[in-house]
Amino acid sequence: MSQPVSIAVVGSGYVGLVAAACFAEMGHSVICVDNDEAKVKLLRDGGVPIHEDYLPELLNRDRANKVEFTTDLRDASQRSQVIFIAVGTPQSKTGSADLSYVDAVASEIARSIDDYKVIVEKSTVPVYTNEWIRRVIERNGVPKELFDVASNPEFLREGTAVVDFLHPDRIVIGAENERAGMLLKSIYEPLTSGAYYRSAQSVPGCCGEKTPPPILLTSTKAAELIKHASNAFLAMKISFINVVGSICEAVGADVEEVSRGMGMDARIGPKFLRAGIGYGGSCFPKDVAAFRHVAEQLSIDFNLLKEVEGINHEQKQRFFQKVRSALWTFRGKRIGVLGLSFKGGTDDIRDSPALDIVEQLLKEGCTVSAFDPAAMNRAKDVIPASQQMRYVPDPYAAAEDADALLILSDWQEFGELDLDRLHYTLRYPIIIDGRNLYDPVKMAERDFTYLSVGRPSSHPAHDAAAAYRLP
């Protein structure tokens, strides 16, 4: 293994905190910087502010000697060879990425540079951000020979971010000179050489000593575009299969069979061909909008991405109408909801389709009982608990005496429920599944009225009215 590198990671969100923990796990010395004093204290005291598999274990293992947390960006920058910027780039009113946090961090880093540094974009940023960071640092009086700016986009999925970081499909490094590129390559050498995977404590995943991840060296502009283009393409796959699902519903076909047949084509692949209630989270919505904005600024027609966004919005409305068709009227109905995060495996509720649907149900006069394994505390900040909105401790409490049960996030445990208990607990055995976690035929055999996405509805094999447990 090459020599450990001293690293500063600015930002302790989903990207920054995972990067800091994984760099430390790879053997480097890491300082994680955040201006939120309460969060830094929580991390110093052993807390973990986000829900990610393996993250608590890595932080507990390395907190004592390989990773530290601070609010002092100047000190962290001076003590580090490489500084990763992993702050938020939220969507602005115009649809572009708001780079004000990146700008502020770059300015502060510039005021602390006294020897050679490599400043690395880790946040998702539009093309040309590298040049703007360079310009900001130069305007603060830093000589060109004392720094380089590089791009190292992340391709992490929330919920599996640690595994994705340590077992990546590819490592992309955008650098304009060999010095910066080689330093970044040395950071990832424990992965690319296979050395990390020899450790008994290594996080399990698809890579190994004989199958290390590939590394791709590009220009900084190409690296910036790879990230936005990748996310926009994946969002497009989701919107595409959701439209195909609507066609399947119209003709009585099963979208799961169609997506399986499509995914067997090596040119297409099976990933992100799951019909559902639409994409959400902190990446796809803003990255699609930001990439479209980049094209518009360059006078390039990328209306395809407008359609991707429009289909995603429409998909939530189609699902809501599916719920309406099953219940006829909403006012006074009791609805059980499973899932509040934008997908299973994370507590992130940003742009969550599930929350959008819950808010619509509440506006229509429903009473909602909701359960999520990780996201309820965050959801309460957006939709406070009330007589109309209850947060409950388990899936069966959500189903208690409900007129219907909605599955809105694809947590694994939601696909493994005790169906006999669920049937007894519900007032009416109606399940409306936005994530296609169950087999419609088997649900009918278990006396459920079952509606899903892109598949024919199924009803109890005998008289449907006999299946209802009246109060």
Active site residues: 283
For residue 15, count other CB atoms closer than 10 A to its CB: 26
Beta-carbon contacts of residue 45 (< 8 Å; ≥ 6 apart): none
Distance between CA atoms of residues 414 and 437, nearest Å: 8
List the structure tokens of 412. Answer: 């694994």
List the structure tokens of 469. Answer: 């447990």
Exposure on the CB side of residue 354, measured as CA atoms within 13 A: 33
Helix (H, G, I), strand (E, B) or coil at 151: strand
Q: Do the bridges between strand 6-10 and strand 29-33 make them parallel or antiparallel, or are there none, so unpaired?
A: parallel
List the structure tokens of 171. Answer: 């490592």
Q: The dihedral of CA 193, 196, 200, 203: what is its sign? A: negative
Q: Do the bridges between strand 404-407 and strand 389-391 make them parallel or antiparallel, or are there none, so unpaired?
A: unpaired
Radius of gyration of the CA atoms of the chain, in A: 24
Distance between CA atoms of residues 369 and 322, nearest Å: 19
CA-based end-to-end distance of the chain: 68
What are the residues facing 458 on neighbouring strands? 450
